[in-house]
Amino acid sequence: MNVLAIDVGGTHVKCLVSGEQTPRRFDSGPKMTPEAMIRGVDELVQDWSYDVISIGFPAPVSRGKVMHEPANLGDGWVGFDFQAAFGCPVRIINDAAMQALGSYNGGRMLFLGLGTGLGSALIADGVVIPLELAHLGYKKGTYEDYLGERGLQRLGKRRWRKHVESVAQAFHHVLQLEDIVIGGGNVRHLDGLPPFCRAGNNALAFVGGFRMWDDATASAART
């Protein structure tokens, strides 16, 4: 079975089909609707053969349904029928959860995605639990205010790095974690990783997309 994995982001939509090595992408942006995304994917992968699709989406997803309109894309995503639009079986989860699934090596792992915002997901003994840690209160704002892009720009790299380390250590203790993966585009701004942490890789989102159709992880990934 060939799986097409789609990683939907605020600046790009990236695609990779199982068996291929090089992802393809096109621009997204604040005006992109689901119909525009479908057209872009169809044009991008017309020479690829696939049977099913996995989508990592930058908004809360529950039981295969987009729960809220994304902050960095256009409207129309809530209630959209991806399976009907693509004409094949589709599974969709939060984008941080898909990358977490691709990064998972066992045990209890927290994924933190340092990007425009703060993506987060917990995997405990193979069960994927999407989180919205970004919106929890922290200091004089939220975790996203300090660890997201706004925090990086406001605080500067040195102070931002201290907050990343402090938050990672706190979650490691409170959640009794065995592993923390720090991914997202801004991981490159870290000067070394906090204890108990390892660097993620955006390419692992595609691995997560492929794993969503493995028998052993399919039911756990459809959160």
The CATH number of 105-199 is: 3.30.420.40
Distances (CA, A) of 18 to 93, 135, 194, 202, 206: 18, 34, 33, 16, 9
pLDDT tops 70 at residue 32: yes
pTM of the model as a whole: 0.89
Q: Alpha helix (H) ranges present in 104-156?
A: 143-147, 149-155
Q: Taking residues 80-106, what's their average pLDDT?
A: 96
With cut-offs at 50, 70 and 90, classify the pLDDT of residue 217: low
pLDDT tops 80 at residue 159: yes
| Main-chain phi, psi angles of 13, to 5 degrees | -110, 125
According to CATH, the topology of domain 3-97+204-221 is Nucleotidyltransferase; domain 5 (3.30.420)
Domain range annotation of the chain? 3-97+204-221, 105-199
Higher pLDDT, 216 or 130: 130
